[in-house]
Amino acid sequence: MRITDKTNPTEFRAIEERYDDMTYRRCGQSGILLPAISLGLWHNYGYLDNLEKGRNILRYAFDSGITHFDLANNYGPPYGSAEENFGILLKRDFAKYRDELIISSKAGFDMWSGPYGNYGSRKYLVSSCDQSLKRMGLDYVDIFYHHRPDPDTPLEETMAALDHIVRQGKALYAGISNYPAEMAERAVNILKDLGTPCLIHQAKYSMFERWVEEDLLDVLEKKGIGCIAFSPLAQGMLTNKYIDGIPENSRAAKSMTYLEKENVEANLSKIKQLNEIALNRGQKLSQMALSWLLKDDRITSVLIGASSTNQLKENIEALDNLVFEEDEIRKIDEVLG
Ligand code: NDP
């Protein structure tokens, strides 16, 4: 079902001071700076969501210096609808700011039926990028990612597809997502040989998901590739929202999401202990969770989601304190085990 577009038609003028308070970090050894906090449209922008609310969040983000919006072919639900809705909002509010924006999309998960709408073939990536551009009404995206490793397609084919998309001018930069360290290094080397350097790796990283610390971050640093951490709040678990139960309308309470109530309940004791540590350092848990990631300067940006402007405001305020005492780090590590 498509919700009628009832968005406010008044013209959006971004505030002049929008760049004053945001922190920007260099993405690896590239020419691109990304805001320390970026906004993802995985949730809250599908046909079933309130487009006016989504519009306010995007406006607030841009007014706060968030220049990077992240999408993928299959964001919605249904698949494709987040890109379509973003296209509507882009046209209304952000068309005149296009050159101030870094917009990304991806292909790699199942998108359409049959053998050509999933994984990592050249056929899939090139067609999917074309579809994404059409849905968003764009001539190009700034970053086009391969969304996840494909165990069966030769890495050379997938990387050549990214190179092709960049050479066609349909993306300015290439990225990879969810690649383990060894495969990421091979992909980066192939792209370099093709003449289209890999800009960035998008990896799941939060206090609850620390796999990147093992060797991926070292590889990325060595190769001069940026890292953007997705689901840095563990889909909302690393905030105070679940401390007194599962609120209606939260991601864990909704169907068609990837956050199970059982997962929240299993982590509740840790969440409460982390919340205490956060309060003692004068932050909300959400803010401490983001600061904790950003204390490592190998993390270019944390890629959050937000279902309200209040959440977004709270999360941006994490940037006010990125410094941790050794004792705080030790206590956090003890809780996380
Ligand atoms: P987060 O971990 O930031 O979770 C966002 C959710 O947490 C919000 O929707 C909201 O949930 C809750 N939340 C956020 N801030 C607060 C706050 N201050 N107080 C209380 N609750 C809060 O990130 P996501 O999991 O949404 O992922 C972010 C982005 O990462 C995606 O949009 C996408 O762009 C990217 N991504 C990439 C993937 C990949 O494979 N490359 C996979 C998944 C995501 P609620 O709705 O309950 O209010």
Contacts of 88 (CB under 8 A, 6+ apart): 5, 7, 51
Instruction: For residues 160 and 332, give the distance between their C-alpha atoms in angstroms, rounded to a whole number.
Output: 42
Name the residue range of residue 232's domain.
Answer: 24-336
How far away, in angstroms, is 234 Cα from ligand 1 center?
7
How far away, in angstroms, is 225 Cα from ligand 1 center?
23
pLDDT value at residue 255: 80
**Is residue 9 domain-resident?**
no
By alpha-carbon position, which residue is closest to atom 32 of ligand 1? 40
pLDDT value at residue 7: 53
pLDDT value at residue 254: 87
State residue 209 phi and psi, 5-degree precision.
Answer: -140, 90
Instruction: Return the SS3 of 84.
Output: helix
By alpha-carbon position, which residue is closest to atom 47 of ligand 1? 250
Instruction: For residues 315 and 291, give the distance between their C-alpha atoms in angstroms, rounded to a whole number.
Output: 9
How far away, in angstroms, is 256 Cα from ligand 1 center?
14
Are 184 and 145 a contacting pair, CB within 8 Å?
Answer: no
How far away, in angstroms, is 314 Cα from ligand 1 center?
14
Instruction: Return the SS3 of 203.
Output: strand
Atom of ligand 1 nearest to the CA of 253: 47
How far away, in angstroms, is 56 Cα from ligand 1 center?
17
Atom of ligand 1 nearest to the CA of 148: 40
Q: Measuring CA to CA, which residue among 243, 185, 244, 248 is closest to residue 216?
A: 185
State the DSSP code for 79.
T
What is the signed CA dihedral for 249, 252, 258, 261, rounded to 10 degrees? -160
Instruction: For residues 145 and 267, give the distance between their C-alpha atoms in angstroms, rounded to a whole number.
Output: 31
How many domains does the chain divide into?
Answer: 1
By alpha-carbon position, which residue is closest to atom 23 of ligand 1? 231
By alpha-carbon position, which residue is closest to atom 36 of ligand 1? 230
**Is residue 41 domain-resident?**
yes
CATH number at residue 189: 3.20.20.100
Residues with CB under 6 A from ligand 1: 40-43, 70, 147, 177-178, 202, 230-236, 239, 241, 250-251, 286, 303-307, 311, 314-315
Are 216 and 187 a contacting pair, CB within 8 Å?
Answer: no
How far away, in angstroms, is 309 Cα from ligand 1 center?
13
**Is residue 4 domain-resident?**
no
How far away, in angstroms, is 168 Cα from ligand 1 center?
32
Helix H or strand E encompassing 20:
none
Instruction: For residues 236 and 234, give the distance between their C-alpha atoms in angstroms, rounded to a whole number.
Output: 5
Atom of ligand 1 nearest to the CA of 106: 41
Would you say the C-alpha torsion 302, 303, 307, 312 has a positive or negative sign?
A: positive
How far away, in angstroms, is 42 Cα from ligand 1 center?
8
Other C-beta atoms closer than 10 Å to the C-beta of 110 total: 11
Are 220 and 198 a contacting pair, CB within 8 Å?
Answer: no
By alpha-carbon position, which residue is closest to atom 31 of ligand 1? 40
Are 200 and 142 a contacting pair, CB within 8 Å?
Answer: no
Are 1 and 81 a contacting pair, CB within 8 Å?
Answer: no
**Is residue 252 domain-resident?**
yes
State residue 198 phi and psi, 5-degree precision.
Answer: -75, 130
**Is the pTM above the cut of 0.95?**
yes
**Is residue 128 domain-resident?**
yes
**Is residue 3 domain-resident?**
no
How far away, in angstroms, is 43 Cα from ligand 1 center?
7
Instruction: For residues 280 and 321, give the distance between their C-alpha atoms in angstroms, rounded to a whole number.
Output: 13
State the DSSP code for 235.
G
By alpha-carbon position, which residue is closest to atom 29 of ligand 1? 40
For a ligand 1 pocket test, name from 85, 143, 311 the mutation site with the most ligand atoms within 8 angstroms of its C-beta: 311
For a ligand 1 pocket test, name from 81, 241, 316 the mutation site with the most ligand atoms within 8 angstroms of its C-beta: 241
**Is residue 297 domain-resident?**
yes
pLDDT value at residue 257: 83
Helix H or strand E encompassing 229:
strand 226-230
Q: How many CA atoms lie within 13 A of 89 on its CB side?
A: 23
Instruction: For residues 129 and 105, give the distance between their C-alpha atoms in angstroms, rounded to a whole number.
Output: 8
Each residue's pLDDT tens digit in the chain (337 positions)?
Answer: 344 445 556 789 999 999 999 999 999 999 999 999 999 999 999 998 899 999 999 999 999 999 999 999 999 999 999 999 999 999 999 999 999 999 999 999 999 999 999 999 999 999 999 999 999 999 999 999 999 999 999 999 999 999 999 999 999 999 999 999 999 999 999 999 999 999 999 999 999 999 999 999 999 999 999 999 999 999 999 999 999 999 998 999 988 788 999 999 999 999 999 999 999 999 999 999 999 999 999 999 999 999 999 999 999 999 999 999 999 999 999 999 9
**Is residue 11 domain-resident?**
no
- The residue length of the chain stands at 337
Instruction: For residues 228 and 175, give the distance between their C-alpha atoms in angstroms, rounded to a whole number.
Output: 10
pLDDT value at residue 10: 76
